[in-house]
Structure 1
């Protein structure tokens, strides 16, 4: 299925499987995809296998973004837990999408799907937030179109790839989710 001929109805979320390794390597090795991610582009299939086998355990929700049966990206929802009781009802959303699928509405549809899934599957969840690099304007638009509110810029919030980065905080609250 070519990216210019797809129907958004064919976009779905499902578990990322080891059988998706070839699809995963297409986007996970792309420097453009990894530019605003905390990770460097993957260079080995072994590292990719390790990620697929072990990353889901660190997330409340982890899904492949699929176009038909092809994994073209991923979504993660990580709950805050442990000693941070003040943030126990909050989770952070992350997502990545293969560059040839950018600007086609796929990320927005997938974010909307995972928001519904997160609030349905995590009954104590009250707030879902996403941090986006200030330079990643396209990802900011995805979140706005998916119903997230821009809350503000967190200056020099994290060090990513050796540089202090300003991040934009977005959130959606459980009562704001549209059916």
Structure 2
């Protein structure tokens, strides 16, 4: 747990009782702008995603501010010969942007996943070149900017350049995270 403006930031498993909060940020066009998914237009669509994707995911947590879900964070392991690496992704409701919540959540998730998955050597994140706020989150969390991957993925049907960031299990910051 970390503190931000006298509020406690924590991570916990998502629960169906989080559906209304989840719908709030997953239906916000500002939040979904750089995400692979489109903003949900109905509560039913959000609940279906929640039930079929978020809850069964191997590492998907609610980002909580004083116990209330204000975002989510996931770590997705790669399969096969790439199982030593995983990708981190996160989203925070727009009303909580700029308060250090995402940075704290990324640090906590990195700490947890490196401890839980002993085989993990590399945690990486892909961020749209235009999403400078998310790039700052990763830099503040100790990730290294490695470069730009041109037209790396489709975002809303359009080829998108992505900045790739990484945190290695051997990076000095990881020892800091594990002691924190």
TM-score of the pair, normalised by structure 2: 0.90
Of 3, 23, 31 in structure 2, the residue corresponding to residue 25 of structure 1 is: 23
**Which residue of structure 1 lines up, in the alignment, with residue 76 of structure 2?**
78
Question: Is the contact between residue 148 and residue 172 of structure 1 (CA under 8 Å) also seen in structure 2?
Answer: yes
Question: Is the contact between residue 153 and residue 169 of structure 1 (CA under 8 Å) also seen in structure 2?
Answer: yes
**Which residue of structure 2 lines up, in the alignment, with residue 7 of structure 1?**
6
**Which residue of structure 2 lines up, in the alignment, with residue 159 of structure 1?**
154
**Structure 2 CA distance, aligned partners of 1:112 and 1:156?**
28
Of 125, 128, 136 in structure 2, the residue corresponding to residue 133 of structure 1 is: 128
**Structure 2 CA distance, aligned partners of 1:25 and 1:115?**
25
Deviations 1:127-179 (A, max 9, x none): 00000000000000000000000000000101111211000000000011023
2:134 aligned with 1:109? no
Deviation of 1:111 (Å):
0.3
Of 47, 50, 60 in structure 2, the residue corresponding to residue 49 of structure 1 is: 47
Secondary structure, counterpart of 1:175 in structure 2: coil
Question: Is the contact between residue 15 and residue 55 of structure 2 (CA under 8 Å) also seen in structure 1?
Answer: no
Of 56, 67, 70 in structure 2, the residue corresponding to residue 69 of structure 1 is: 67
Deviation of 1:46 (Å):
1.7
Question: Is the contact between residue 14 and residue 55 of structure 2 (CA under 8 Å) also seen in structure 1?
Answer: no
**Which residue of structure 1 lines up, in the alignment, with residue 167 of structure 2?**
172
| Aligned length in residues | 171
TM-score of the pair, normalised by structure 1: 0.91
**Which residue of structure 2 lines up, in the alignment, with residue 119 of structure 1?**
114
Deviation of 1:59 (Å):
3.4
